[in-house]
Structures are given as structure tokens and as C-alpha cells.
Amino acid sequence: KKRIGILTSGGDCPGLNATIRGVAKALYQRMGEDVQIVGITNGYSGLINGQWREMEPEEFSGILTMGGTILGTKRTPFKLMRVIGEDQVDKVAAMKKNYEEMKLDCLLCLGGNGTHKTANLLAQEGLNVIGLPKTIDNDIYGTDVTFGFHTAVDIATEVIDRIHTTASSHRRCMVVELMGNKAGWLTLYAGVAGGADIILIPEMPYNIDNVCAAVERRASQGKTFSILAVAEGAFDNEEARMKKKERAARRKEQGYTTATNRIAAQIEKMTGFETRVCVPGHMQRGGSPSAYDRVLATQFGTYAAKLVEHEKYGVTVAMRNNHVTENPLEEIAGKSRLVPDGHGMLEVARRMGISLG
Ligand code: F6P
């Protein structure tokens, strides 16, 4: 029997179970009894600590629509992988030992940028590894899209939709803080889909005077409210030269915890508009995957099964120009994909009169 290990690592997102199911069903279709799937619990932490079980085909039924991950997940920072800490555990050696003990032919790692760095490390250590790109942030290098992203866009869009009625009733400015870590994809797409008036993303440091001018311009056109879609990682032009920690320290000094709190306070002070912040937070990662993500997860999962069949390792699945393909892990690990200057969606936003700060 071929023994295929599978783990999910990093923050969860909708579509993980759909992808696991896609891999499993496609493997059973082609290999039937000749394949044994081994589920590793809680990401790389489970691989380090030897938490795994042989899975039955029934476990992959009924999970297409389920959010989260049936395997459990955990963040195990890459920078700690080579560090032998208080626990005295050589994590890389432990992962290799458990891989051997499970008698795996290969290991499938579903995750984001951090997961891919560790997947590449394991491949360099001689393990047969295949990656699958998940994240609501859509920031994995070499793929046009990651599963989880479009479901998060749908959720964030619904938030902005609902914020419209309360903003207009109260004649307020509403600042909606969206996830995305260092990338602005989720905010940009949800902002356009939800009809936000101002979109602020980390790739384009904002100037608070421009933000307030956009609010006032709308007011002068008779618009009684404004909606801002602001990425959690957004920062202003003065913070552009600073490191993340310095930015946080500067905000703290000014009496704020987040960029959105500060933006709201500045808008109130500079325009006189009553302003509120809305943080949908982890709701953006919860619940059932959208139809788009179910299809993408199934495409990615079946492609990974094909890679297993052909024993093509050291790669991660990707979508490029509407074709499912793969990238060498060593070419994408350690990189990320931010919204590039001049991206078409920025142009769309500008043409729609949306202020980008
Ligand atoms: O990477 C997904 C993500 O949701 C980011 O958008 C966000 O910055 C981060 O994870 C939050 O991490 P945690 O769930 O560990 O708080």
C-alpha cells in the first residue's frame, strides 16, 4: 500500500476539508485498496509529536461543506523549526523520524506561506512533500488564487453590505477592518464588491488628509455617510519607512491599538462625522466554503492526487491563468504575493471614484 500523510497547518480557512476530501476521493478512485491515508493532527506540531492516525474512507464523506479542518491545525512558526528550546526537541529530526515511523511515501501539507517554508525545509531534508495553497489572505507566491480567499471575500462583502444600512441611518462614517495580514487582496476585492467609498491596503500607505478629503467630498455631493474598507495591516505614509513593531509602538504612543481605531478618531476630529469601527475578525475565516472555493478545493485536491500518483514531489499546487499547475517549493518558499502597483483592480477602484487614500 502507498501511505500518504496529510496535515493542515497555520490559520484555518474554509475549503480545507473540501481539499482533503478532493485528495482522498481522487486517490481512492485511482488506487482503491492500494492507498492508506494517514492523518496528522494539528499541523507540524502533530508531526513533531507523533500525533497521527490511519484514516478510513468514510471519514472523507460529508465534509465538503464543513468549515475548519477535521485534522485540526496549529501555527508552528518556521523560525522555531531549527531552534532546540526548553523542550530539548530537535523538531526537524523529530519530523523526519515520525515520517519514517509512519512509513510514508509522501506528505501533503495544506497551508499558507509559513507552512510552505517548512514544507520546503522538509523537502530539502529528503522527504517527499507536496504543498497545497490555502489562505484567506491570497498571498502565496506563484498562484493567482488560494482556496479560502473567495469565501472570505463573500463574508467580508456581506459585512460591508450590512454596514451600509446602519451607516446611512445614522449618517456616520463606518470603518470596516478586514483581515489579510500584510496583503490587501481581501480588502480590495471585498471593498469593490461591497461598494466601499474608501479602500486602504498595506501596499499603498494612506495619507489621512486624503482620506478625510474623500469623506468631505462625498458630503459636499450630498452623501450622508461613508464606508471605509481598511486592511488590518494598513499604515499611513509616515509609517511607511517603519518596521511593523515600530508602527505598533507609534500607535500605542498616540493612544491607539490599531490603524482602524486611529483612522476613526482622526476622521471624527478632522471632519466632524461621527465614526465607528467594525471588526468582523475571525468570522472571515469561519463556516462553509463558497461554491467557488469548493470547486477550487476539488480542483487542487484532485491535482495533488495526480502528483502523488506520478510521484512528483517537492512542488506545490497552483492556479495560473485558469490552469491548475504546480510550482517547485524552493521557488515559492519565503516569498509572498502582495497587490502589485498598477494591478487591474486598483485601476477599477480608481475609475469608480473609490479613494485609495
Ligand atoms: O493568515 C490568515 C489570517 O487570518 C490573517 O489574515 C490574520 O492576520 C491572521 O491569520 C490572524 O491570525 P490568528 O488566527 O492566529 O489570530
Ligand 1 atom with the shortest distance to the CA of 180? 6
**Residue 76 counted as an annotated binding residue:** yes
**pLDDT greater than 90 at residue 103:** yes
Task: For residue 11, report the distance from its CA to the centre of ligand 1, in Å.
Answer: 6
pLDDT value at residue 83 = 84
Q: How many angstroms separate the CA atoms of 355 and 197, rounded?
A: 6
Q: With a 6 A CB cut-off, is 46 part of the ligand 1 pocket?
A: no
**pLDDT greater than 90 at residue 150:** yes
Choose, from 137, 139, 154, 197, the residue flagged as catalytic.
137
**pLDDT tens sequence across 117-148:** 999 999 999 999 999 999 999 999 999 999 99
User: How do 275-278 and 106-111 pair as beta strands?
Assistant: unpaired
Q: With a 6 A CB cut-off, is 11 part of the ligand 1 pocket?
A: yes
pLDDT value at residue 246 = 95
Ligand 1 atom with the shortest distance to the CA of 10? 1
Mean pLDDT taken over the chain = 97
Task: For residue 155, report the distance from its CA to the centre of ligand 1, in Å.
Answer: 15
Ligand 1 atom with the shortest distance to the CA of 285? 4
User: What's the average model confidence in pLDDT over 98-114?
Assistant: 98
**pLDDT greater than 90 at residue 54:** yes
pLDDT value at residue 45 = 96
Q: With a 6 A CB cut-off, is 183 part of the ligand 1 pocket?
A: no
The secondary structure of the chain, three-state, reads CEEEEEEECCCCCCCHHHHHHHHHHHHHHHHHHHEEEEEECCHHHHHHHCCEEECCHHHHCCCCCCCCCCCCCCCCCHHHCCCCCCCCCCHHHHHHHHHHHCCCCEEEEEECHHHHHHHHHHHHCCCCEEEEEECCCCCCCCCCCCECHHHHHHHHHHHHHHHHHHHHHHCCEEEEEECCCCCCHHHHHHHHHHCCCEEECCCCCECHHHHHHHHHHHHHCCCCCEEEEEECCCCECCCCCCCHHHHHHHHHHHCCCCHHHHHHHHHHHHHCCCEEEECCHHHHHCCCCCHHHHHHHHHHHHHHHHHHHCCCCCEEEEEECCEEEEEEHHHHCCCCCCCCCCCHHHHHHHHCCCECC
Query: Whose CA is closest to atom 12 on ligand 1?
Result: 11
Q: How many angstroms separate the CA atoms of 37 and 53, rounded?
A: 9
Q: With a 6 A CB cut-off, is 180 part of the ligand 1 pocket?
A: yes
**Residue 128 counted as an annotated binding residue:** no
Q: With a 6 A CB cut-off, is 112 part of the ligand 1 pocket?
A: yes
Ligand 1 site-directed mutation target among 181, 201, 244, most atoms within 8 Å of CB: 181
**Residue 283 counted as an annotated binding residue:** yes
Ligand 1 site-directed mutation target among 115, 139, 149, 179, most atoms within 8 Å of CB: 179
**pLDDT tens sequence across 173-225:** 999 999 999 999 999 999 999 999 999 999 999 999 999 999 999 999 999 99
Q: With a 6 A CB cut-off, is 148 part of the ligand 1 pocket?
A: no
**pLDDT greater than 90 at residue 84:** no
pLDDT value at residue 323 = 98
User: What's the average model confidence in pLDDT over 149-177?
Assistant: 98
Q: With a 6 A CB cut-off, is 179 part of the ligand 1 pocket?
A: yes
Window from 43-52, 83-92, 242-251 with minimum mean pLDDT: 83-92
Provide the pLDDT confidence category of residue 250 given band limits of 50, 70 and 90: very high
Q: How many angstroms separate the CA atoms of 179 and 259, rounded?
A: 12
Window from 137-141, 244-248, 337-341 with minimum mean pLDDT: 244-248
**Residue 350 counted as an annotated binding residue:** no
Percent of the chain scoring above 90 in pLDDT: 96
What ipTM describes this predicted complex? 0.98
Residue 51 neighbours by CB under 8 Å, 6+ apart: 40, 41, 42, 45
pLDDT value at residue 86 = 80
- Packing angle between helix 185-194 and helix 149-170, nearest 10 degrees? 50
Q: Is 137 a catalytic residue?
A: yes
Provide the pLDDT confidence category of residue 89 given band limits of 50, 70 and 90: confident
**Residue 115 counted as an annotated binding residue:** yes
Q: With a 6 A CB cut-off, is 72 part of the ligand 1 pocket?
A: no
pLDDT value at residue 88 = 81
**What pTM did the predictor assign?**
0.97
Q: In what order do the strands lie in the sheet with 106-111?
A: 52-54, 35-40, 2-8, 106-111, 129-133, 315-320, 323-328
Task: For residue 179, report the distance from its CA to the centre of ligand 1, in Å.
Answer: 7
Percent of the chain scoring above 70 in pLDDT: 100
